[in-house]
Structure 1
Amino acid sequence: MSNFDQYLSEHREQHLEELREFLRIPSISTLSTHKADVRRAAEFLAEQARAIGFEHVELLETPRHPVLYADWLHAPGRPTVLVYGHYDVQPVDPLHLWTSPPFEPEIRDGKLYARGASDDKGPVFMHLKSFEALLRTAGSLPVNVKLCIEGEEEIGSPHLPQVLADHQERFQADVIVISDTPMLAPGRPAVCYGLRGLAALEVHVYGANSDLHSGLYGGMVQNAVHALVEVLASMRGPDGRVQVAGFYDGVQSLSAEERQAFADLAYDEVATAQTLGVDTLFGEAGYTALERVWARPTLEVNGIYGGFQGEGTKTVIPNEAHAKITCRLVPDQDPVRIQQLIRQHVLTHLPPGARAEVTLQDTGRPYVTPFHHPAIQLAAKAYEEAYGVPASFIRMGGSIPVVEVFDRLVGAPVVLMGFGLPDENFHAPNEHFSLDNFDKGLRTLCRYWTGLPDALRE
C-alpha cells in the first residue's frame, strides 16, 4: 500500500464528514435568495485550500458569484495543472420526491445522497483531498497546481470567460483537469475527450389580439397553437434528421477508428430502451445510439405551452403559443449561426395569419481533443491502476461550455476524468454519489498527479 493509500484510508471518515459539511450549504446559483449561501460555499473551499497548503487563495469577484483561485507552485521544472470545477448546484424541486432532505447528506447502501454530491461538489472535494494526501505523506506535490472553481456553472458560466481573459497569465497551465463528466457504468471508468455544444432559444407564435370563441371564429382565424406545431413539425423528419437548412454544414464525420471504438463498447440499446420504458430507441437514421448521442447534432423541443391548460374543456382559439428549443452541437457547428438558421426556418415556415418572435438564449461551443495525447492516455492508466480494469475513451452528449473557453484562452489539453455515474440523478431528486467511486477516484487522482511529470516528458 502506498503512503497516500494509507493516509486516505486512515482519514476516510474525516473526509466524508468534511464533504457532508460542504454539501449542507445550499449553494443554488440561480436563486437570488441563496446568494449568501453560494458565497459561503466558496469561502468553505477557500478555507479548505488554505488548510491543505495552497497559497494566493483568492475569491475573484464577478457581478454575481465569485471564482476561487488558489495555487501551489513549488515544483520547479514540473508541469503545471489547472483544476477546474464548480461549487454551485441546481435547484432541488420537486422537493417531495426526495427520500431525504437535499441539504442533509445521508449515506444509504454505499451512496451519499445530497444535492451536489455528484455534480460537482463531490468530485471538486476529491481533488482537494488528493492534493492533501500527497502533501501530508510526501511533503510536496509532484506537479504545480492552480485551482479555478466557480459558482456559476449551473447558470451557464456567464462571467467565467471574462475572469479567465482578465487573468489569463495567472491561469496559464500545461494541462487542465476537470471531473464533471460521468463514467461509462459502475466499475467501468472512462476518459471523456469530446463534448457537444449548445444552442438554446424560444419560439413565440401569435395569432389574433386575444383568445377567441371557437364557435364564433373557428375556421376564420389562425390558431397559434396549430401554427406553432406546424413550424415545430417542419424542423425534423420522420428519420430523425433535422430539416433546418444549413444545420449540418461543416459537421465533422466520425473517423472509422472512433466508430469502431464506440462499437467495441458493446452498448446494449435494447436494455437501454427497456430501462427507459420505451419500445425502441430513436434518432437520426444511419447511426448507432452512442454515435447519435456523442457525435451527432440534435434539435429538441424541451417544452411547449399555450391555450387552455385547466381541468375540463374551454372552447377557445389560443392567440399565442410558445416553445423552448435546445440543440446539441458537434464540431464544427457555430452555435450563434445555428440560432440564426433556426430563426430563419421559423419565419420561413410560419403559416399565414400568424406572426413569430424568436428569443436567443444560451450558447456553448463543442469540444473534441485527440485522445492520443499523453496527458489523456495517463488518465486511462491511472483509472486502470485504481479500478483494476481498462478505461474506455468516450465522448459525452452533454455540454460544458467553459471547456472550449479554456481551450481557446489557455491553450492546454483538457483532461475530462469524471467519477460520477449516469444514473446518479444529478439535476434531479435523490442525487447521490457512489462511495466506491469516492474511494477509488481519490486513488486515481493521486496516481495521475504522481505520473504526470514522466508522461509529459515522453
Structure 2
Amino acid sequence: MTMTDWAAFDRQLASRRRAIVEGLVEFVRLNSVSQESAKVRVTGEWLTGVLRVRRGLPEEGGPGQPLGDFADDDLGSLALYARGSADDKGPIWSHLHALELMDALGRSPTVNVKFIFDGEEEIDSPSLGPFAEAHRDLLAADVVILTDGPQHARGRPTISGGARGMMKVELVIEAARRDVHSGNFVAPNPAWKLNGLLASMATSDGVPLIEAFEEDVVGPTAAEHQMMAALPLDLPALEKDLGVRLPADYVERIMFHPTLTINGLQSGFVGAEANTIIPHRATVALDIRMVKNQQWTKVYGRLLEHLRAQGFTVIESGDEPLPDDLRGQAVRVVDKRGYDAAKTSLDLPVSREIIAAVERAHGGERAVLLPTMGGTVPMWVFTDILKIPTLLVPYANENNRQHGPNEHMKLDHLFQGIRTTAQLLTDLAAPPPA
C-alpha cells in the first residue's frame, strides 16, 4: 500500500523524534573522515554503506547541553553540533528513517529506490566514476536526487538543477635546500616568488587573469535570468553576517562563472614561532570552480600555460629531486584532481514532478529554484556517465558551517528531511514504458 494518510505519518514521526536524534548522535560520533579510509570503512560497516566528512579543526567548539536536558516538544528548535551532522550524515539519516517510518505504517514506496552513500566525496569521489562505468545496469534509474548542500537562507525548500565542477591543485616553489638566516644570507625567497605568481593569476578582488580562463563558458538563458531575479537573496544581510562587501552580481558569479580561490598558503613561520629566516619552500593550495561546458582538464592546461608564461618551469611530479639550476625557477604541481560541472533542466517532466512533491512535503510552500548551485558534488557521474537526469534537493540548513568549526544540523531540518524523502518516494511514479 502507498502512503496516503500523511497525518498518521506525521504523528509517527513526532513519537519517534527523540530516538531518531539519539541514533544520529551515535552516527556522528563515528569517525568517518575521508582522509582516514580505515575509519570510513568502520562507519560504513556500521551503516551498511559509507559516507564521508571533512577533517575537524583545532578551534572546533566545545560540548553543548546534553540531549536529556530537553523535552520532546523542544527538539524541533534545537541543532546538533558535530562534524558531519549537516554534511552529510543528517540527510542520510533522514532517508533511512523515512523508509523505516513508512514500513512501520505498512506503506511502500511507489518507486524502486537505490541509495548511494559516497565515502569519498570530500576527496573528489575517485572511485564513483569507475564504479558507475562498471555497473551501468545496476545503477540504471529514471532520476537521481542528491541531498547534499544547504537550503535557502529563509528555510524554504530548495531545488538545484546543477553543480559546478572543480579542480584542486597545490603549487610549490622551492629555492635553497634549507631555511637560511635572513641577516647572514641574501638568497631567493620562494614566498616572494609565489606572491608575484599569484598576483599575476588574479586581481586583489579575486577576478581571474589567466588567459582564456572563461573559454567555453555559456551564459544564463532568459529563463535562468528570471530564476536568478526571483531568488529571495538579502545581500545586505549576508554582508552584515560576513562583515565584508560582496559584488552586486553575486548570484551570477556563483552560478555562471568560474572562480579561482586561494584555499591556503604555507611558508616559513608566523606567530609565536616566527623567526628571522628566508624560507626555502612556499606552497599554495588552490581550487578552481568551473561551470557547465568547461572541461577541467582543459582549464588545467590553461593554468600550466600561465605558469610557463610567467617564466617558470613546470614540474608535474611531487617526488623527483629538484635540479639546482631550477631552484627558485620552477613550480612543482602536486595533488592535482578534479571533475566537470553538470546540469539538468528544471523544465523536464520529472523535474517538475520532484518540485511539486518537495513543495507538498513543505505544506505547499514554493520552492526556491536554482539553475545550478555554486558548490561541487559528483553530479557528472550520473548525468554524463549514466545519462540520468539529476537534481539536488538539499536538506541541511543554510549557514550550517560545513567544512568548518561548529558545523551543525538544525533538527527541524532533519525531521523535515524525513517527511520530504517519504513524499518523494510516494509521489514519484515510474514513467510508462516507451
Same fold (TM over 0.5): yes
Stretches of structure 1 lacking an aligned partner (at least 5 in a row): 47-67, 69-85
Structure 2 CA distance for partners of 1:178 and 1:224, relative to 1, 3 Å: same
Are positions 1:383 and 2:344 aligned together?
Answer: no
Are positions 1:281 and 2:286 aligned together?
Answer: no
Residue 58 of structure 2 corresponds to: 94
Contact 2:32-2:40 within 8 A present in 1 as well: yes
Are positions 1:20 and 2:22 aligned together?
Answer: no
- Displacement of 1:425: 1.8
Tell me the secondary structure at the aligned position of residue 370 of structure 1.
coil
Structure 2 CA distance for partners of 1:339 and 1:90, relative to 1, 3 Å: same
Contact 2:396-2:410 within 8 A present in 1 as well: yes
- Displacement of 1:7: 2.8
The count of aligned residue pairs is: 409
Higher RCO (Cα < 8 Å, 6 or more apart): 2
Are positions 1:251 and 2:217 aligned together?
Answer: yes
Are positions 1:296 and 2:257 aligned together?
Answer: yes
Structure 2 CA distance for partners of 1:307 and 1:434, relative to 1, 3 Å: closer
Per mean C-alpha deviation after superposition, the further-off stretch among 426-435 and 166-175 is: 426-435
Are positions 1:129 and 2:97 aligned together?
Answer: yes
Residue 374 of structure 2 corresponds to: 397
Contact 2:76-2:412 within 8 A present in 1 as well: no
- Displacement of 1:270: 1.9
The percent of aligned pairs where both chains have the same amino acid is: 32
Residue 382 of structure 2 corresponds to: 406
Q: Write the distance in 2 (CA, Å) between the matches of 1:215 and 1:441.
A: 61
Are positions 1:150 and 2:152 aligned together?
Answer: no
- Displacement of 1:372: 0.8
Q: Write the distance in 2 (CA, Å) between the matches of 1:429 and 1:22.
A: 19
Per mean C-alpha deviation after superposition, the further-off stretch among 240-249 and 342-351 is: 342-351
- Displacement of 1:43: 2.6
Are positions 1:272 and 2:238 aligned together?
Answer: yes
- Displacement of 1:304: 1.6
Give the superposed CA RMSD: 3.0
Q: Write the distance in 2 (CA, Å) between the matches of 1:357 and 1:418.
A: 38
- Displacement of 1:370: 0.6
Q: Write the distance in 1 (CA, Å) between the matches of 2:404 and 2:347.
A: 35
Contact 1:364-1:399 within 8 A present in 2 as well: no
Q: Write the distance in 2 (CA, Å) between the matches of 1:293 and 1:151.
A: 26
- Displacement of 1:134: 2.6
Are positions 1:113 and 2:89 aligned together?
Answer: no
Aligned AA (1:6): R
Per mean C-alpha deviation after superposition, the further-off stretch among 37-46 and 404-413 is: 37-46
Tell me the secondary structure at the aligned position of residue 112 of structure 1.
strand
Q: Write the distance in 1 (CA, Å) between the matches of 2:24 and 2:267.
A: 44
Contact 1:23-1:114 within 8 A present in 2 as well: yes
Contact 1:191-1:417 within 8 A present in 2 as well: yes
Structure 2 CA distance for partners of 1:178 and 1:101, relative to 1, 3 Å: farther
Q: Write the distance in 2 (CA, Å) between the matches of 1:354 and 1:231.
A: 11
Q: Write the distance in 1 (CA, Å) between the matches of 2:179 and 2:32.
A: 42
Q: Write the distance in 2 (CA, Å) between the matches of 1:311 and 1:94.
A: 17
Q: Write the distance in 1 (CA, Å) between the matches of 2:417 and 2:432.
A: 22
Aligned AA (1:14): A
After superposition, what is the alpha-carbon deviation per residue over 1:280-304, rounded to whole angstroms, capped at 9, x for unaligned? 114xxxx611111222110111112
Contact 2:155-2:397 within 8 A present in 1 as well: no
- Displacement of 1:455: 7.6
- Displacement of 1:315: 4.4
Aligned AA (1:329): M
Structure 2 CA distance for partners of 1:275 and 1:227, relative to 1, 3 Å: same
Stretches of structure 2 lacking an aligned partner (at least 5 in a row): 313-325
Aligned AA (1:381): A
Residue 44 of structure 2 corresponds to: 42
Residue 147 of structure 2 corresponds to: 179
Contact 2:206-2:260 within 8 A present in 1 as well: no
Tell me the secondary structure at the aligned position of residue 18 of structure 1.
helix
Q: Write the distance in 2 (CA, Å) between the matches of 1:275 and 1:434.
A: 19
Aligned AA (1:404): W
After superposition, what is the alpha-carbon deviation per residue over 1:365-395, rounded to whole angstroms, capped at 9, x for unaligned? 1111111122222232223223232001112
Tell me the secondary structure at the aligned position of residue 87 of structure 2.
coil
Residue 332 of structure 1 corresponds to: 293
2:15 counterpart (10, 14, 17): 10
Residue 415 of structure 2 corresponds to: 439
- Displacement of 1:109: 4.5
Give TM-score, length-normalised by structure 2: 0.85
Are positions 1:373 and 2:348 aligned together?
Answer: yes
Residue 426 of structure 1 corresponds to: 402
- Displacement of 1:123: 0.7
Q: Write the distance in 1 (CA, Å) between the matches of 2:338 and 2:274.
A: 39
Q: Write the distance in 1 (CA, Å) between the matches of 2:14 and 2:184.
A: 76
Give TM-score, length-normalised by structure 1: 0.81
